Chains A and B, each alone.
Chain A
Amino acid sequence: MKRNFQTVTIETPEHFELHFRLAGIGVRFLAFLVDRLIQAGIILGLAIIVTLLFFMMGKIADVTDFFVRMSKFMGQWIIALAILVYGVVVIGYFILFEYLWSGSTPGKKSQEIRVIRKDGRPITFLDATVRNVLRFVDLLADVYPMGLLVMFLDSKNRRLGDMAAGTLVVMEKTSADPFAAARSTGTGITDPEIRDAVAALTPEDYQLISKFLTRRKELDADHRAKLAHDIVHSVLDKAAISVTASSDPEGILEKMEVLYMERTRIF
């Protein structure tokens, strides 16, 4: 079945094809929010630490006087300076992390996405700088309206910074399912009917069985029992095998999965 993920295929100079799954708009938005929360936390944390330090040193009044005098002297320039510092800190966060972590930031790591160049290579410092400086255009009231619009209209979910820097944001390869149930690896399955049924299994049937066994703990009891029963009957009916009323559907499915994996193991 053709899947509706957005994938991109990159051919390396050695004519080796790399397939990446593009990160969706939602995941990118979520990663951005996580990064903004971390930034806000850092800024707030620093402000609290600095204030506490000055408080403990008894210099709070002096610092307050200094800022009042500065604001009278520099007027609106101090606001401009504050905005500039804020921008440098916010944008610098992304540039630093994306350069040092090969296209990843804490927010992107939480969503398992990464920035790469469109030729599949890791991004350089220049790429990170270009794509993040243009963040000023995407951001408005910190909710990314232009960024969302551009990503929505672009078929590869790129924002202006990505287009300018020639980068893509892709999903990282997911690791093995941590919730995959520990299955029996015993090879002592001698039930000939189950072997016959496994012989008739198609890859789609195996996929169905495997998905059910992986996710059965999350299902509620009634649906779990019904699904197990239906899947067993559907699979065994193909091999014209009948299931006795006392048989354990989930046990049968577990055996079938193990047997199928043994049969399709590549040496």
Chain B
Amino acid sequence: MDPDTRNTVHTVVITRLKDPSKKDKIALSLSRIIKNVPPEKISERLETLPWTLTRKATPKNASRLERFINKIGAETKIDPPLAAPIMAEVQETQILPETHLLSQTQVLSEQDGGTETPVQTEPAPPEQSGGPIEESLPASELVPEKQPVTAPPKESSVPSGPPEGSFPLEPLSLGGILDRTFQICRAHFWKLITVVAIWWGVATLVGILFIIVGAVAGLTAASLGQLPLWLLISVGVILIPVGLIVLIATFYLAQGALIHAVSSIYTGREVRVGASYSFVLGRLRKLALTYILVFVLMFGMVIAAGAAGAAWFAVFRYVTDSGLWAVLVSLPLWLVLACAVIYGMFKLLLVDKVIIIEDLGYMAAIKRSWALISGKAEGQWPRGYFLRLFILLQLFILINIAVSLLFQIPGALMVLLPMPKILAQIVSHILSNVGSVVAGLFASVGMVVFYYDIRNRKEGFDLEMLASIHED
């Protein structure tokens, strides 16, 4: 029998704080459901317990209030006592402070015998409860019946656990990571494509513009040398670098937004394209500067390796006086140096995920990425995180080739169709770009899944999420 159909109303009283030293924290938590009362006043009120919160709570809401208040660190008394433990479904026990289990309460009163001080509670934010409470609802109802009381939070800076129907969080094998990548891409394909479409749109438009300008001006490789010098300088020194910077900036913005979107999907939150871009714009400076730092580091690694290899070769050339022997002796070192550079580059591949998801930046993000891709996992081969990443990237390359072929072959066949050459070039260019975007999407999503898999294995991220669901 649904408890809310009964006519009984309950009085909920806060009787004691479990830990008086945490009074301010408890007051802050209570301020989320008590409207127009600052936490300081609530904190003062908590010094003179017991405090009657409401005299007109339905059994369901009384039970939720009791659980919430117990969770934040206080003890309650329900009068009359709740008849039997409400055997709520799993969904109904997912009560977290952020979800505003109460959309609106009636006036909360002071302690027994004290002055009645009406306290209005705050209606739940519209994005979480589905809308403001209508005036026609009876005051005895804490939550309007028509509102989904178990609605998961729509937007939260802290993931509160995967809701029903989301992907289960657990450590995955390599095949599992690929499976999860395809599942995410299939379930949210158009949203994810929309996220990256902005960059794709800019790149495609620039490409089409070049094609049209070239065709209209009759530009060929030979005719380029006959153009005026000022035009060549303008294009070479100004337009092309500016164009490149814009393209690179929009690319990394789109990548960051994609990471945020995939992270939202993985942790069970709603995906919104605008929200993802807004989120990344807030971290754009950190993202851009860290990327520059990573580029400088990678460039430095390449230069250092090249210098070491060249020095080694020069020494042996001087010692043996034979170029061939110097090459033969230097070859193993060059291979080792090349592997070291590739190793270093791979270890930095999670920097952007760390920046977007964990809000670390600069050297902290680089160190974190390095630390994450270190060590060994339990279970089947491959166990080393670096080896898993290496194999995963090879698999993504193969998938990339497969997906790109699907678009490039029709694009290449365009020339056989009876259409103007410029149109065939434009269509071919569009198809090729679409293929690159779709192919790149899988790799980008897969890297986020890999990042979370490492966190699940090393830090028990999935266990933390599971624990946060079952805290009630």
Contacts and interface: CB of A to CB of B under 8 A. Distances in A.
Contacts of A227: 460, 463-464, 467
8 contacts: A4-B165, A26-B176, A29-B178, A33-B395, A145-B402, A202-B470, A220-B458, A220-B459
A148 B182 CA distance: 10
Interface residues of A, number: 42
B162 interface: yes
B470 A212 contact: no
Contact of A2 (B165, B177, B466): B165
Nearest to B91: A1
Given A4-B166, A148-B402, A208-B467, 16 more contacts: A2-B164, A24-B178, A25-B182, A26-B176, A27-B176, A30-B174, A33-B395, A140-B405, A141-B401, A143-B405, A148-B403, A208-B470, A215-B460, A219-B459, A223-B459, A230-B467
B398 interface: yes
Interface in A65-79: none
Max chain A C-beta neighbours (<10 A), residue from B181, B187, B377, B471: B471
Interface in B141-193: 162, 164-168, 171, 174-183, 185-187
A179 interface: yes
Interface string A191-223: 000000000001011011001100101111001
Given A143-B402, A145-B402, A152-B186, A27 B179 contact: yes
Contacts of A5: 168
Given A25-B182, A26-B176, A26-B181, A179 B459 contact: no
B406 interface: yes
Given A24-B175, A219-B459, A223-B459, A149 B406 contact: yes
A91 interface: no
Given A1-B90, A202-B470, A218-B378, A30 B178 contact: yes
A199 B178 CA distance: 40
Interface in A1-57: 1-5, 24-27, 29-31, 33
Contacts of A26: 175-182
A224 interface: yes
A206 B222 CA distance: 75
Contacts of B274: none
A112 to B, nearest CB: 9
B5 to A, nearest CB: 26
Interface string A57-100: 00000000000000000000000000000000000000000000
Interface in B359-411: 375, 377-379, 395, 398-399, 401-403, 405-406
A185 interface: no
Given A4-B168, A231-B467, A145 B459 contact: no
A146 B407 CA distance: 11
A141 B404 CA distance: 12
B457 interface: yes
Interface of B: 90, 162, 164-168, 171, 174-183, 185-187, 375, 377-379, 395, 398-399, 401-403, 405-406, 457-460, 463-464, 466-467, 469-471
Nearest to B466: A208
Contacts of B185: 152
Contacts of B176: 24, 26-27
A149 B185 CA distance: 12
Contacts of B469: 204
A252 to B, nearest CB: 15
Nearest to A217: B378
Contact of A234 (B166, B177, B470): B470
Contacts of A3: 168
A140 to B, nearest CB: 6
A239 to B, nearest CB: 12
A152 B459 CA distance: 32
A111 B378 contact: no
Q: Which of B185, B187, B399 has the most CB of A within 10 A?
A: B399
A204 B183 contact: no
Nearest to A22: B179
Given A26-B179, A30-B395, A204-B90, A218 B458 contact: yes
Contact of A27 (B175, B186, B377): B175
Q: Which of A1, A25, A30, A144 has the most CB of B within 10 A?
A: A1
Contact of B406 (A29, A145, A207, A212): A145
Given A30-B178, A204-B470, A227-B463, A24 B183 contact: yes
A7 to B, nearest CB: 13
A231 B379 CA distance: 24
B377 A234 contact: no
A254 to B, nearest CB: 16
B175 A143 contact: no
Nearest to B472: A238
A143 B398 contact: yes
Nearest to A149: B406
A109 to B, nearest CB: 13
A231 B466 CA distance: 10
A87 B187 CA distance: 35
A211 B171 CA distance: 11
B173 to A, nearest CB: 8
